[in-house]
Every structure is written in C-alpha cells, then in structure tokens.
Amino acid sequence: MKNVYFDNAATTQMREEVITSITEVMRENYGNPSSSHSFGRSSKVLIEQSRKTIAQCLNVSAGEIVFTSGGTEADNLVLRSAVRDLGITHIITSKIEHHAVLHTIEQLKKEYDITISYVRLGTKGDIDYLHLETLLQAKGKALVSLMHINNEIGNILDIQHVANLCKANNALFHSDAVQSIGHYNMDLQEIQVDFLAASAHKFHGPKGVGFAFVRKNSGLLPLIFGGEQERGFRAGTESVHNIIGIEAALKSAYYHLNKEVEYIKDLKRYFIDEIINNIPKVTFNGNSDDLNKSTYTLVNICLPIPPKKAAMLLFQLDLKGIACSKGSACQSGSSQNSHVLTEILSDADLQKPSIRFSFSIYNTKEEVDYVVNVLKEFIE
C-alpha cells in the first residue's frame, strides 16, 4: 500500500528550509519581542524583517501587513471591524464562500442588523458580475467579500474586475486569498483590494500563522485588545518562530513559483486525462477541469457511484493510504453535503460522491496512476 497525500488544499507539507528556519529561531531567538533588552530586540528585528519581506512580495508597505493566527482570524478582523467601526451596513458576498466569511457575516447580521446580499452564481459557480454591479448600486455603505480562489472547486475570481467595480461604486473590497497567496503573483498596487486574508499552511508554511493585508488609512480597528503588538492591531505576544516560518515559506514559494506552477499544472492535466480515460461518466465540479478558469492546484470530481456504495468511498480510499476530501477540512465532521456543491449541483449529482484532489510539488504522476487505479477498481 502506498501513502498518497492529495489534500493540499486542506494543508501542505512544510518545506525543509522552513522547518530549518523555525527550528533555528526557536533555539536562538526566544526573547519576548516586546521586551526592551537585547533578547527582545533581536526577536523584534526578525518580526519586522519578515513583515518587510511579505510586503515586498505583494508590493505593499510593511505597515499594511498584520500578522494573525491564520486566515479565519484575518477574515474576522476585517469583517467585524468594517461593520463595527467603518459604518458598513451592506455586505455583498456569495453562498460559496469559506465558512470563515459566511458564518462571520451571519453573526454580524444578528448583532448589527446589517443587510446581506448574495451575488448570483452561474451553473459552474462563476460570479455573475453584472448582478454584482447591480447590488453595488443599492443604498448603504457596502463591503464586497469574495474569495479569490474557491477552496472546493478552484474557480478563479476576476479580482481586478471586482476591485474596479467596488472603486467605481465607493464600496470596500475584502478577499479571502488563502488559496492564492503563495500560488499566484499578486501586485496589490495594481489590484486595489482593500483587505485580504492569507494563511501560511496553504503554501508549505506552519499552521497557526497568517496575515491580513489592511490598506493604509482604512480606519480598521483591532479585534483582539490588550498590548500594543502589531501596531495595536492585534494584541498578544507574537509567535516569532511562526512569523519567521511564514516569511520563509512565502519567499520560497515565490522564488520557485514559475517552475513549480508548471510542474503542478502538468500533474493536474495528467490527472484529468487519466480520470476521463479510466472512469466513464465522471464529471467535474465547477470549473476545476478548466486550467484557464480554475487554480492549477486542485480538481473536484463527481463519480458515477450509487449512494449506498458512495458512503464507503472515503473510507476505502483511506484504507488504501489515499488522503483527499469531500470538501473543506473545516467541515469534515459534518454529515451534510458541501455547501459549495449544494449551490451548483443538481439533486441527482448531489446523491453521487464528489471528491476534491489537491496537488503540490511533492506529488508525482505515479501517485496519480495509483489513485486512478484504486478508484477504477472500487467503481468496477
């Protein structure tokens, strides 16, 4: 039995150079960054250098990067403060966003009685940009929250177009970019998004650290209060080793980007071809089989298996050493269908098993062959 990890959209294996950087800092730089002595100052210098490196990767100023515990906290920071402090009364989003956005917005509606509008979706889960433009013309101060890359079906948002629409209508724009930072070049001087969320463990960094991009003079206020860390944006002693880890991971991701994109894209093409050739009647969810309209890192397939047999699929794959998922890892304990697929699939297709396979530089075509053969045998 092989061990095949095809669940990189859930989390990724850390790069060796990231582990080395983290270990060195844990051993040598243990001072509290808020302390005034030399031990503290050396830790503080490392944090600020990391902030500058990340800012350079995105072409923004260092003061616009706020370290958080991950993408969920970054989303919460932006959305809650936008309503609480910036006077947002209308949030425009979609029903296929990550729950870090959807559940936060639902809670904000209970607390502040804001208006929530959901932009229409096409049959493949694409955003209806004309409908978005119409929603932006409604009364009230608006914020648009749309993810750059969908974590389940891989659809790519035209983030530049949405940013332009928001600017033209005096609305703020927040994007959960957890699946795109580290995988796509993003120049935030060209893309006028106001707020953005990222998480290190999606691009071969450590878990428990991410950042929010907060465009300067936005007026955003803290979510967590206490000390003056992160320029007052986020109280609490900084996790120095994790911050060094996210810096190292992002540097490596962008240094190797072109080469690694081509490798993973070729792997995805091969996976699609092999699935089509070996499993008749397989279909692809969203745009995940279109390399121009979806991320190169994942494929979401709907398999021609009856419901009773489908219930055993993930269990059988796990027995064969194959790691994949039926949706977001954050809802893996739920017995309900993926909220993303529920919005775009027919009732008949929802009865069939849908599986997300997501790839990284550590995967191979031999692993693809193994997975396709296991699926073929199970179906037959």
Phi, psi angles (nearest 5°) of residue 143: -130, 130
* Amino acid letter, 141: K
Between the alpha carbon of residue 85 and those of residues 51, 104, 158, 223, 232, the distances in Å are: 25, 16, 28, 11, 15
Contact 179, 150 (CB under 8 A): yes
> H or E stretch including 365?
helix 365-379
Cβ proximity of 127 and 119 under 8 Å: yes
Query: SS3 for 82?
Result: helix
Residue 302 bears catalytic tag: no
Residue of 57, 302, 324, 330 marked active site: 330
DSSP 175: E
Instruction: State the Cα torsion 248-251-256-257 to the nearest 10°.
Output: 120
Neighbour tally for 278: CB within 10 Å: 15
* SS3 assignment for 310-351: HCCHHHHHHHCCEECECCCHHHCCCCCCCHHHHHHCCHHHHC
Type of residue numbered 202? K
Task: Answer for the pair 100, 242: CB distance below 8 angstroms, yes or no.
Answer: no
Query: Shortest CA distance to 270 belongs to which of 125, 371, 341, 356?
Result: 371
Q: What's the CA gap between 277 and 275, in Å, rounded?
A: 6
Structure tokens at 21: 């950087």
What is the SS3 assignment for 161? helix
Tell me the β-bridge partners of 97.
none
H or E, element range at 142: strand 142-145
What are the residues whose beta carbons fall under 8 Å from the beta carbon of 303, sequence distance 6 or more?
Answer: 279, 282, 310, 313, 352, 353, 354, 355, 375, 379
Which residue numbers are catalytic?
A: 330
